[in-house]
Chains A and B, each alone.
Chain A
Amino acid sequence: MTFSSFLELSFWIPLLAAGVRVATPLLFASLGEAVSERAGVINVGLEGMMALGAIVGFLVAYWTGLSWAGLLAAAAAGLAASLIFGFLTIFRGADQVVTGIVMNILLLGLASFAYASIFSSAHVVAQLTAIPIFRVPWLSDLPIIGRPFFAQSPIVYVVYLLIPVFWLLLEHSQWGLSVRAAGENPEAVDSAGINIWYLRLQAVAICGAMAGLAGAILAVIQIGAYVDGMISGRGFIALAIVVFGGWRPWRVAAAALLFGVVDAFQLRLQVSGVPIPSPFLIGMPYILTIVVVAFVAGRAGYPAAINKAYPLRHFSRKARKLLPADSAAVHPLPQENS
């Protein structure tokens, strides 16, 4: 590969196409993480939840032969794991980072244990049938962007839809307003009469389901097999993408695409046989992650209440007995101008 080949479209178009493909699972994970962090809960357990999604998604798809069933099961598994995480951090006040690390260790171990015990006797690697790409009529014929963006696996089009959905949800809905407030000043949310704990749990559940999906996309759709360690730090890269994208869906999408393109770029360099040792090339996305964390995260405005548990109110049984029995014993005062 000569230097001049970098300047040709025939190099950039396939690179962009590969970048979009690599970015897709990253974007699933980081969109969910953005919601959770904006609610004030940092889910460091993303890596483990993606691994869980990968194994569950792979197993279900393998047994049923239906890839969509695998994705669904992976989302459910990720959600279940995130509920455990949410219970510990939101309702029991456990440190979010420590709990996240524990979840990683637990889930990564669980995934490889499950795979090893189920396929211990098999001599060949279990494989799924590949999912064909779907060319969007007309759009895929557009010059330059047509092939990278509109001749992809159908799941890529789902993520195109999810970006505006998350943007609307987070930036323009009443629910998103509460979520953003919960990450900045949970007291304000509580005194506004919103159930702050349940709200945060919802955000964490979305994050878990998205992380499970991200893992399953990798295993079921993109690779068609489960390999131990296949997540290989993508959960942590997603954490950096969220920071780099400033917790806003569109920018998070752009950041994910950048990471995807960098990863695709280093793969191409490896194949082309440039005289750079491959460990340095493989390390490129991780080096980019470190750069982002070092130079962007320091200045970025993390949600103020991140990793701060909001204490539950506990009322004694004796105190509760003094209250009227009927659940709606609230006297609404007359409204003005009635």
Chain B
Amino acid sequence: MNSRSPLRHIAISEKTSAQSWRFEAFKVSKSYGAVVANDDVSVDLKAGEIHALLGENGAGKSTIMKILYGMELPDAGHVAIDDKVLKITSPADAIAAGIAMVHQHFMLVPNLTVLENLILGNRRFGGILSDRRAARAEISALAERYRIEVDLQKTVSKLSVGEQQRVEILKALVRGARILILDEPTAVLTPQEIKALGLTLRELAQERHGIFIVTHKLPEAMGLSDRVSVMRRGRLIGTWPTDQITSAELVMHMVGRSLPESVSRPEVLPGPTVLELRDICIAGHAGRTMLQNINLEIAEGEILGVAGVEGNGQQELTEAIAGLRQVSAGDIFLCGNVITNSPAASILAAGVAHIPEDRHRDGVVLDFSLTDNAILVDHQTPAFQKRGVIDQGAVIQFTDRLINDYQIRCSGREAPMRSLSGGNQQKLVLGRELARRPKMLIAVQPTRGLDVGAIDYVHRQLIEQRSAGVAILLISTELDEIIALSDRIVVMREGRVTQLPDRPSIETIGAAMLGSFDAPAGAE
């Protein structure tokens, strides 16, 4: 039994009465104030199927998921199993009904072991004193049955992201869940790990579990699911068997128009080197090294793409260049001048601009107006102040120019940043940084959380800057983005950089991300 099947086209076969059920959200509506998050949404899930719920950010996917998992109640409509309306007002109710959720940000306690995480809140393994031996035996058997490999004794913080996800899936199974809701399950995985996840999910579906995959990634939805539903602006656009619809049609439904062609990159001959990192090391906690002998060069008019799973030293790298983190060895040159461990302000003044990864934390102040945010970095320059007093006229002029040039959709320059969509917030950050006419641009996850239209816009801007001779360090976990924009690609893993050959394939990059790529001799 259980022959490893291809990823899709599995017939939903031989329903026995005990193993056949239908789970649905029926005509669900939910609004938050004036924002309609879900408008008359009906989706269903049958035993043994994988159903992908596809949509862009803000399409209402997470709202419907929260309703299914008892974290929100709908304003209208209901959740039912086999036409019996459920009363689910908490995750505890959902778990009791056999519904489990694998969150995008894993709900694991990092300093507990895998086993402790699995028995957390599970009454079956003891009321006050827990019966660890019985728990271990039962969980091992379950893991073996679904071929989920994981070391129960390990502390969760020592696991890779892929392993943590397996623990989450196992946690759902230990609780006896028949319905699994996976939120953006592939967001943090390498291509190889995505493949392994697909096999696990297939195995679960064959055992008559039902699986919702909530994602904005088209290839994964196509590759993993039996049926696919598309949501846009809080509405359900439609549901189709996955093998009867094409990717192009799905994109049409997702964005409401066909996707623009991928950006074209005009030929630009790289000029002299702008940024050079020579043997950069950063010491981490407890004698560990966060960065180890990083050597990078970026020339004028060149985009260097840094791929890699999050948390492998990308953040430390950008902070080192921007002067936000102490370098323990090595040198950083900007246009030939040493900037190693210089104050951040002087590095900015020397022509480095920075689009931070977490724009809410490091890029903008959400409760400030657009005008205040527009001069957040440069409010001390003579252009915006006279003798310590901010020149409001100049600030207003500057903000209006940004709003105009970058087509920032807002209710006005005095609107709080919070009221803008993610895409428009990012446009302001981008415009603000580019207005400083940088020689060197560090862009970290510049399109995270943006919709397709905004992604396209940001990509075009980056290419335009490249043509204008700016050196760009692009750090992203989106491989498609890296491949589409970069002139050269390197991979970061465990604080080291792996140089890749020109035009590497997705598989090569994936192998390097996993650490199984052998760099050609002399390329380190």
Contacts and interface: CB of A to CB of B under 8 A. Distances in A.
A contact residues, range: 35 or more
Nearest to A326: B87
A327 interface: yes
Interface in B330-361: none
A331 B79 CA distance: 11
A192 interface: yes
A332 to B, nearest CB: 6
Interface in B88-135: 88-98, 101, 103, 105, 107-112, 116-117, 119-122, 125-130
A173 B129 contact: yes
Contacts of B267: none
B415 interface: no
B128 A175 contact: yes
B78 interface: yes
Interface in A283-338: 301, 304, 313, 315-316, 318-320, 322-324, 326-336, 338
Contacts of B108: 185, 188
B479 interface: no
Q: Which of A175, A315, A326, A331 has the most CB of B within 10 A?
A: A331
Contact of B85 (A192, A193, A329): A329
B82 A331 contact: yes
Contact of B97 (A174, A187, A304, A333): A333
A238 to B, nearest CB: 24
Nearest to B93: A330
Given A185-B107, A330-B97, A178 B89 contact: no
Interface string A165-176: 000100011110
Given A189-B121, A191-B91, A330 B130 contact: no
A333 B89 contact: no
Interface stretch (B69-77, B470-478, B496-504): B69-77
B207 interface: yes
Interface string B194-236: 0000000000000110000000000000000000000000000
A336 B98 contact: no
A329 B126 CA distance: 26
A285 B98 CA distance: 55
A190 B70 CA distance: 11
A336 B77 CA distance: 29
Contacts of B439: none
A184 interface: yes
B92 A177 contact: no
B176 interface: yes
A173 B130 contact: yes
Interface string B45-84: 0000000000000000000000001011111111011101
Interface in A155-214: 168, 172-175, 177-178, 180-181, 184-185, 187-195
B138 to A, nearest CB: 12
B119 A174 contact: yes
Contacts of B120: 177-178, 181, 188-189, 192, 194
Nearest to B96: A330
B73 A177 contact: no
B129 A331 contact: no
Contacts of A318: 75
A186 B125 CA distance: 20
B178 interface: yes
B86 A177 contact: no
A101 to B, nearest CB: 26
Given A177-B116, A334-B178, A194 B92 contact: yes
A197 to B, nearest CB: 11
A114 to B, nearest CB: 37
B19 interface: yes
Contacts of A168: 129
Contacts of A336: 176, 178, 207-208
**B91, B108, B121: residue with the most chain A Cβ atoms closer than 10 Å:** B121
Nearest to B71: A313
B128 A193 contact: no
A270 B111 CA distance: 45
Given A177-B112, A191-B107, A319-B74, A334 B19 contact: yes
A320 B78 CA distance: 11
Contacts of B129: 168, 172-174
Interface string A7-46: 0000000000000000000000000000000000000000
Nearest to A335: B176
Given A185-B108, A331-B82, A315 B73 contact: yes
B263 to A, nearest CB: 38
Interface string A76-120: 000000000000000000000000000000000000000000000
B18 interface: yes
A330 B85 CA distance: 8
Nearest to B75: A319
20 contacts: A168-B129, A172-B129, A174-B125, A177-B119, A178-B121, A180-B112, A185-B107, A187-B103, A192-B107, A193-B175, A194-B92, A304-B110, A322-B76, A322-B78, A323-B73, A327-B87, A329-B85, A331-B86, A332-B96, A334-B18
Interface of B: 18-19, 21, 69, 71-78, 80-82, 84-98, 101, 103, 105, 107-112, 116-117, 119-122, 125-130, 175-176, 178-179, 207-208
5 A-B pairs with least C-beta separation: A192-B121, A193-B92, A333-B98, A319-B73, A188-B107
